[in-house]
Amino acid sequence: MNNVMQKAQELAEAIVESNIYQRMHAAELQVNKDEEAVKAVSDFVEKRQAVESILASNNMDHDALAEAGKAMEEAEKKLNDVPLIKEMQESRKEFSQMMENVNRILRLVITGETEDECDCGHHHHHGGCSGSCEGCSGCH
């Protein structure tokens, strides 16, 4: 058990030391320090909350919702145009892919299975087919 925890600690340290994590962390710090980026994020969050509150209200005003939705889309477009935000989003995506690969390796070693397709064409996760697999010769 201790060996497993030690290896988990080592894996976590290797992840934190990786270029991919370092790039993401640096991008997040820059975004938090940049006035334009901070303003774009808070503006988007504000517009999204406006949409959510209209959706949550009992007598939903469809015109107000359409207007709020449009404002949210515009705020999101502005947000995505900020270079630092783009860098943060790209680095987060790359980090996410790395973590998926780490999990894929763990799953393969532990279960002997990947998330490849079964004979029936369904994807299987965690050792079984998802969805109906009638007529399937079973996953391998």
Q: Is residue 100 part of a domain?
A: yes
Determine which of 10-24, 89-103, 110-124 has the lowest per-residue pLDDT on average.
110-124
C-alpha–C-alpha distance, residues 103 and 112, integer Å = 13
Report how many domains make up the chain. Answer: 1
Overall average pLDDT of the 115-129 stretch: 52
| Per-residue confidence band for 7, with pLDDT thresholds at 50, 70 and 90 | very high
Q: Is residue 57 part of a domain?
A: yes
At 1 the pLDDT is 85
Q: Is residue 29 part of a domain?
A: yes
pLDDT digits (tens, 9 = 90+) for 54-99: 999 888 888 999 999 999 999 999 999 999 999 999 999 999 999 9
C-alpha–C-alpha distance, residues 127 and 140, integer Å = 9
Overall average pLDDT of the 30-47 stretch: 96
Helix (H) or strand (E) holding 113: none
At 137 the pLDDT is 45
CA dihedral 18, 23, 24, 25 (to 10 degrees): 90
The answer on pLDDT for 121 being more than 60 is: no
Q: Is residue 1 part of a domain?
A: no
Residue 48 is part of a domain; what is its CATH number?
1.20.1500.10
Q: Is residue 139 part of a domain?
A: no
pTM, to two decimals: 0.70
* Domain encompassing residue 79: 18-129
Q: Centre a 10 Å sphere on the Cβ of residue 79 and count the other Cβ atoms it contains.
A: 20
Q: Is residue 26 part of a domain?
A: yes
